[in-house]
Amino acid sequence: MEMRQTEFGLVDLDQLGTKMKIIFVRHGEPDYRVLEEHAYSGFGMDLAPLSEKGRKQAQDLCQNPLFQSADLLVASSVTRTLETASYLASAIGFPLRVEPLLHEWQVYESGVENFEKARTLFLENNGKLLPDSPIQYETAKDMRARFIETLAKYRDYQKLVVVTHRMLMRQFVPNETIDFCQVIECEIENLERGILSLRKKRHLFVKIVLITHPNT
């Protein structure tokens, strides 16, 4: 068996094609009213809990049969994702891991207007940040990199439920619209190559395959 030595340790070349299934879940609908009344902004808005409708969405989510075969539940550390994940953890008995790098896409200027303007620029420029951009924001490449960095911890698991955010999910699935508590199952191929390329600061060599379930 050939082994390759890198500064990050030994990598088994026979395992470079290892596949992992990811069940993406977007959080439920949040309620920002209290935070808006107290003039919170930026990351302060991430303290928002789910709305009453969002809690119902999270409760209904627990009935999805896809979760029964998963190994682990991983969630962003943002309140709306943690609350959504808590319903799953309670109903299905999953162990829950919290990962701060699964947070939502970052815009480095506060305000709803700036966020929407940045999102328009992001989509127009295919996730790139141009040198003359009037608003600074996180690139698609940086989002994908932090996601793969997080997955590296769980490479020994075959199937993860990942409760996270719309813009992060869109970097890996083709859906232009992702509803609250929508479930999207994918298969990640070449995860080990992706981890290696990330650590060597090369192009991320990871293939994402969408899994469809016509009867669900």
DSSP H or E segment with residue 208: strand 207-211
Q: How much is the pLDDT for 192?
A: 60
**Structure-model confidence comparison of residues 93 and 26, the more confident one:** 26
Measure the CA–CA gap between 112 and 36, rounded to whole angstroms: 11
Domain count, the chain: 1
Indicate which CATH number applies to the domain containing 95.
3.40.50.1240
46 falls within a domain: yes
| Alpha-carbon span 64 to 72, nearest angstrom | 15
216 domain-assigned = no
pLDDT over 80 at 15, yes or no: no
For residue 177, the enclosing domain spans: 3-211
Q: Which of 29-38, 113-122, 147-156 has the weakest average pLDDT?
A: 147-156
For Cα atoms 153, 163, 69, give the angle at the middle one, nearest 5 degrees: 75
Average pLDDT, stretch 4-9?
Answer: 28
User: If pLDDT is split at 50, 70 and 90, which confidence band does 214 have?
Assistant: low
pLDDT of residue 155: 86
Pairing of strands 72-76, 20-26: unpaired
Burial per residue of 51-68, b for 16 or more beta-carbon CB atoms within 10 angstroms, e otherwise: beebbebbbebeebebbe
- Cα-based distances in Å from 78 to 3, 22, 46, 199: 39, 19, 6, 26
Residue 165 — pLDDT band, cuts 50, 70, 90? Answer: very high
Q: Is residue 44 part of a domain?
A: yes
Identify which has the larger pLDDT, 190 or 53: 53
Q: Tens digits of per-residue pLDDT, 186-207?
A: 888 766 665 544 454 444 445 5
More confident residue, 173 or 164: 164
